[in-house]
Chains A and B, each alone.
Chain A
């Protein structure tokens, strides 16, 4: 896991993007970028060589769930590690996200420790 990896944070609330950005910075990840919706995230992902995607679910234009499916269906993006950070807590949604290929799922409200643990776990698994 490279601390310089390029991370895209997607959430329609600027406050949440700021919180996640700060937490990532506290963990040593400074190469972070932001998008406010699934729709605005896609061109950034296509142009940008991102190493990691952190996304909310509930967004007006394109939900994080649809973004996840889009990324997994795109041959250039399909292996991008994806972490969902969301208030959506219905069991069937969590299962649906896992089946669609999400690498980690965090429910809000969450702690810095949980974020750290999930990120480490995702990249541990990838290296195996």
Chain B
């Protein structure tokens, strides 16, 4: 790294030293010497440029190698799967796991709802009958039916509450995906950081080249492009840091719309 930071300086030093010599030669009328000096400066610039481009190419090559992308496009999946493909697989795994957990949970909830509903209905009916009994509006035969019905209800309740408990436990267990998805996402975060570091390194290399060649990259105005096309952003993760362009809840949505007459 120290070699790389020395080179541009030495070229600039050379430029500085040679330029004053160049001016002297021109004033003395030694044109041949002056032209030779120009040639020296030009050669040094080219050497430096080739060196910077070489370093950029090497850095790019290293980055690609670190992503484990086999540019010869072998089909051997085990050894040449790129880290990017790996990250994609991992994130798809997260989507699948969370979807399965959500469905499993909703399935269990849907199983519980009719059970609870039935228990409630039967209890209400029995309460009515019990009321009639208390007010002595019931005939003996009816009382015998009620007696059986209450017995059945108590047995059913015991059984169904066991079923409900079982379902609730399964719902708790279905949340086990969070641990797995958390681990997977952490790995992807690590990969993203590595990619970011590599890219920053590449940009540094490229800017050295730009410096020597005097190339200035064009600035594209991305902001207006995004507003015009209404490109969706997805859920906002850091609402507090985001500021006023984002609403934070249904109430703010309603206020915004009614303030505009909608």
A interface, CB within 8 angstroms of B: 13-15, 18-19, 22, 57-58, 63, 65, 87-96, 98, 105-108, 110, 114
Contacts and interface: CB of A to CB of B under 8 A. Distances in A.
A91 B256 contact: yes
A94 B249 contact: no
A15 B103 contact: yes
Instruction: For chain B, give the interface size range.
Output: 20 to 34
Nearest to A98: B262
Given A63-B232, A89-B248, 4 more contacts: A87-B234, A87-B235, A110-B250, A114-B250
30 contacts: A13-B99, A14-B103, A15-B99, A15-B103, A19-B106, A22-B110, A57-B232, A58-B234, A63-B232, A65-B230, A87-B235, A88-B233, A89-B246, A89-B248, A90-B236, A90-B247, A91-B246, A91-B247, A94-B247, A94-B253, A94-B256, A95-B256, A96-B230, A98-B257, A98-B262, A106-B253, A107-B249, A107-B250, A110-B250, A114-B250
Interface string B231-262: 01111100100001111111001001100101
Contacts of B248: 89
A92 B231 CA distance: 11
B32 interface: no
B74 interface: no
B134 interface: no
Interface in B96-118: 98-99, 102-103, 106, 110
A119 B106 CA distance: 23
B75 interface: no
Contacts of B245: 90-92
A106 to B, nearest CB: 7
B227 interface: yes
A13 B99 CA distance: 9
Contacts of B99: 13-15
Contacts of A98: 257, 260, 262
B246 A90 contact: yes
Contact of B235 (A18, A93, A108): A108
A108 B236 CA distance: 10
Contacts of B232: 57-58, 63, 65, 88, 93
A94 B257 contact: yes
Nearest to A114: B250
A114 B247 CA distance: 16
A93 B230 contact: yes
B253 A107 contact: yes
A101 B248 CA distance: 22
A18 B103 CA distance: 9
B242 to A, nearest CB: 9
A87 B234 CA distance: 6
Interface in B60-106: 98-99, 102-103, 106
Nearest to B95: A13
Nearest to A26: B113
Contacts of B227: 92
A18 B239 CA distance: 27
Contacts of B234: 58, 87-88
A94 B110 CA distance: 34
A86 to B, nearest CB: 8
9 residue pairs, one from A and one from B, having the closest CB atoms: A87-B235, A58-B232, A98-B262, A15-B102, A89-B247, A89-B246, A57-B232, A88-B232, A114-B250
